[in-house]
Structure 1
Amino acid sequence: MQDTLLGIHSVVRWLILLFGVWAVIRAVMGVSGKSAYTAADTKAGLFFMIFLDIQFLLGIILFIASPLIKAGLGDMGATMKNAGLRFFTVEHTLMALIALALVHIGRSKIKKSASDAKKHKTALIFFGIALILILALIPWPGREAIGRALVPSF
């Protein structure tokens, strides 16, 4: 079951990247073109947030069930000295929570913003920083001790 959940977690990563890039591109276009904040802008941010929420729920299940995390939490002193354990036990989890919070806060601030320019700027800042964190927290292939496959094998 854990392999299946990990595979789904990996697939959802691509949806997050797709919608995150879409939301950031729309924000850049809005800021540079001084255009109206449209329903498409709202949808881009909404889908980015929805898939982050789904990923968060999958991540919680994996965090609770993972033998790797259990080993990491068992001896935090040793975990902090081991790059692989530290990444998944601390860094991946913490960056994911921060990215999720940034997207939720950003969406809330966008809703409260009066002007379209302010909405685009807020989206660019919050979604952009969240996307950078997400890119950093992904265990890309080739990263020593933490690299994972680009496409899961179920």
Structure 2
Amino acid sequence: MHEALLFLHNLVRWLVLAFGLWALVRPEPRPGAFFAHALTLQVVLGVLLAFASPLFQGALAALEATLQTPGEARYFVAEHWVGGLVALGLAHAGLGQARKGKSRARLLFALALLLLLLSIPWFRPLLRL
């Protein structure tokens, strides 16, 4: 189960980035909806993955020690999912602005995409096959 969720989470990452670029280039409701909803799917997969991941569960068990020690466990327990949730909020706010025809949509999509790029674990394999 863990490996399947990890594969899906990794695959959807690329869809989210592609839709994010599309929404950045064309800050309209359709591209914004694809970006925001793909990111929602990514966050749901991430939450499911957290419950199935031995790394995340072990780090949660030793939460205080994990947060004081920089490394992979701290990254996934503290920074990775927080960046994803904040980016999700920004993407949905951008979608709302795009539906109203406001120019702020591009800024919100750009901030969401930037935060996602900072939250992706680039030290992990880019494709899991």
TM exceeding 0.5: yes
Task: Give yes or no for the alignment of 1:94 onto 2:82.
Answer: yes
Q: 1:136 aligns with which of 98, 103, 118?
A: 118
The runs of at least 4 consecutive aligned structure 1 residues that moved more than 3 Å come to none
- Once the two structures are superposed, the pairs formed by residues 65-80 of structure 1 within 5 Å of their partners are 65-80=52-67
**Residue of structure 2 in register with 1:151 after alignment:** 127
Q: C-alpha separation between the residues in 1 aligned to 2:2 and 2:52?
A: 7
Q: C-alpha separation between the residues in 1 aligned to 2:33 and 2:11?
A: 19
Gaps of 5+ in 1: 28-40, 141-146
- Per-residue CA shift, 1:29-76, capped at 9, x if unaligned? xxxxxxxxxxxx211101001101111110110111111111111112
> How large is the RMSD of aligned CA atoms in angstroms?
1.3
Q: C-alpha separation between the residues in 1 aligned to 2:59 and 2:89?
A: 24
SS in 1 for 2:111: helix
**Residue of structure 2 in register with 1:21 after alignment:** 21
**Larger Rg computed on CA atoms:** 1
Q: TM-score by structure 1 length?
A: 0.78
Matched letter for residue 8 of structure 2: I
Q: C-alpha separation between the residues in 2 aligned to 1:109 and 1:50?
A: 15
Question: How far did 1:82 drift?
Answer: 3.2
Of all paired residues, the percent bearing the same amino acid is 40
**Residue of structure 2 in register with 1:58 after alignment:** 45
Matched letter for residue 86 of structure 1: R
